[in-house]
Structure 1
Amino acid sequence: MAEVLVELQAQLMWFFNEFGRNPTHVDGHNHIHVLPGVSAVVVSLCLKRSIRWIRMPLENMESVLEDRKQEMFCTEVVKNAKAARTLFASCGLRMADVFAGMNLSGKVMSRDRILKVLDRSSCRRLCCYEPTYVEIMTHPGYPSRTGDSFSRSFDRLHELRVLTDPKLMTELMRKCKLSPFPRLGRHGLQSSPNETAMSSECKTVPLHFSRQTMETEIQRPVQNVYNNHVKTSA
């Protein structure tokens, strides 16, 4: 794990040198940050650099994925995430209440699937005045001539079209509120002034789209159609 530590230190230092601050939220390419051993290294660096938010890829995988290989990968990610969650929480790292993305990626993404995630999320805290924080992982973009098979796939263009669908945008405005990751105060979460809490009368869900709020991944810096989404692969 010594080499993993050196690599991740270098990537976080690159981010700091480029932006003049540490990221607010980290995750790993292909969710490697929840792998046994790697998760402990990631936690140590997050604590050292006061990074308070980390992705927790615990997703309801009830949908049967068409690709058996992809299904096995997602099952393994969820298993590792369950083990890593205890470590992350015990060290004070915060995670979104709901994560979705593995069931949404590529050609299976649709407006209905995204809205289904939000509808389920809105039922989590209807009896209190706390918002439900939802992080949705997406990969919108254009197929490239190089890179892995997904980078070259037209599935990314499909995701882009789904996410920019006016009908979806209208529903998002009604069901949720796009929000940065909340600040952490002495007593836990602190909502920003423009955030709204969710009550039994209000089903607003602060939603985190990875393409807008995720600032760094554990992978090498690459060009991306969204300039504020810095990707970095170990």
Structure 2
Amino acid sequence: MPRLILCSDDFAFSRGVSETIAGLASTGKINAISCMAVMPGWAADSALLDGLPDHVQIGLHLTLTDEVPLTWMPRLAPAGRLPAINPLGRMAARGRVALDEAAAEIAAQFDAFVAALGRPPAFVDGHQHVHALPGIRDIVLAETALRAPKAWIRNCTDRLTAMLARPFAGKAIGSAWHSRGLRRAAAAVGLATNDSFAGHYDFAGDYRVLFPCFLRKPGGTHLVMCHPGAGSRPGDAITAARSREAEALRNWSIADMAAIGGLAFPA
């Protein structure tokens, strides 16, 4: 039976986001958490992950955009802050990313994750899907194969018919385009990936209406990303969406919704 992985991104983005995500995991609403080990609150917030059910997978949300890096990056972050996703994407497409700096930063984020939790991540992905960018993906795959060989990698591709059956197909197709070849590259170094991927929207629509659509046409391991949270943080463009997602997830039986779509959801 196909299974649903409902993964909350951005743990440690802020205390309110972390507390919300940990609460949802403890009550069986999500079964995967992707952590921003780059954030200054990561070490303290990681304590919120203690005692969660065993089926909740804890992964690393590699962050190479917008935040302050853990390492000195004079070319990629000359002002002490990582670039936005669009400039980074253009640099990667043109082969102009300082890959030595990216490699050191990725290793440092792995170090921070392991230092806090005492174990490697169960999976690895990227904030704004940076892990799939040219050049960067090779570093991510090599580091994951070395440091967490049992982990799986987020694959943002899916079948065209599946993407067209869900809302915001254009965003999904864009993610899939940037991730093309990632599954094959991961397999080449012995790493698994999810089989299908959903959760794209504009962070403005009615999440209660949209979420069931994300469960359409799942693959064998169907990964759906979400971004619940609470409170606010300066510069966070999706503050309101985080609160709406959290409220919706709290009020649903995810297992029942998954079952309607023919998916198993461990909770």
Question: Contact 1:111/1:162 (CA < 8 Å) preserved in 2?
Answer: yes
Q: Aligned residues, how many? A: 164
Report the CA distance between 1:52 and its aligned residue: 2.4
Q: Which residue of 2 aligns with 1:57?
A: 156
Q: 1:191 aligns to what?
A: none
Distance 1:207 1:110 in 2: 22
Q: Counterpart of 2:182 in 1: which secondary structure?
A: helix
Match of residue 264, structure 2, among 199, 205, 221: 205
User: Is the aligned partner of 1:172 residue 2:260?
Assistant: no
Q: After TM superposition, give the deviation of residue 18 of structure 1 in Å.
A: 0.8
TM-score (norm 1): 0.60
| Alignment-derived partner of residue 224 in structure 2 | 136
Report whether the alignment pairs 1:6 with 2:104: yes
Q: Point out where structure 2 has 5 or more consecutive residues left out of the alignment.
A: 1-98
Compared CA separation, residues 173 and 58, structure 1 to 2 (3 A): closer
Deviates more, 1:52-61 or 1:73-82: 73-82
C-alpha contact 1:33 1:39 (8 A) present in aligned 2: yes
CA gap 1:34/1:88 in 2 versus in 1, 3 angstroms: same
Give the letter for the 1:24 counterpart. A
Shift of 1:163: 1.4
Distance 2:175 2:132 in 1: 8
C-alpha spacing 1:77/1:40, structure 2 compared with 1 (3 Å): same
Unaligned runs of 5+ in 1: 125-131, 177-202, 209-234
Task: Give % identity.
Answer: 27
Give the corresponding residue for 1:149. Answer: 237
Distance 1:134 1:148, change over 3 A: same
> Is the partner of 1:158 in helix, strand or coil?
helix
What letter matches 1:172 in structure 2? M
Q: 1:157 to 1:100 in 2, by over 3 A?
A: same
1:118 to 210, 215, 222: 215
Give the superposed CA RMSD.
2.8
CA distance in 1, matches of 2:180, 2:189: 15
Distance 1:77 1:87, change over 3 A: same
Q: Secondary structure at the match of 1:82?
A: coil
For residues 59-98 of structure 1, what are the structure 2 equivalents within 5 Å? 59=158, 60-62=162-164, 65=168, 75-98=173-196
**CA–CA distance in 2 between the matches of 1:34 and 1:140?**
23
Question: Could you list the per-position Cα deviations for residues 71-94 of structure 1 after superposition, in whole angstroms to 9, with x for gaps in the alignment?
Answer: 5x6544221211322211222211
State the match for 2:84 in structure 1. none
Q: Residue 188 of structure 1 corresponds to which residue in structure 2?
A: none
**Partner Cα distance (1:4, 1:74) in 2:** 26
The one of the two structures with greater contact order (alpha-carbon pairs below 8 A, sep at least 6) is 2
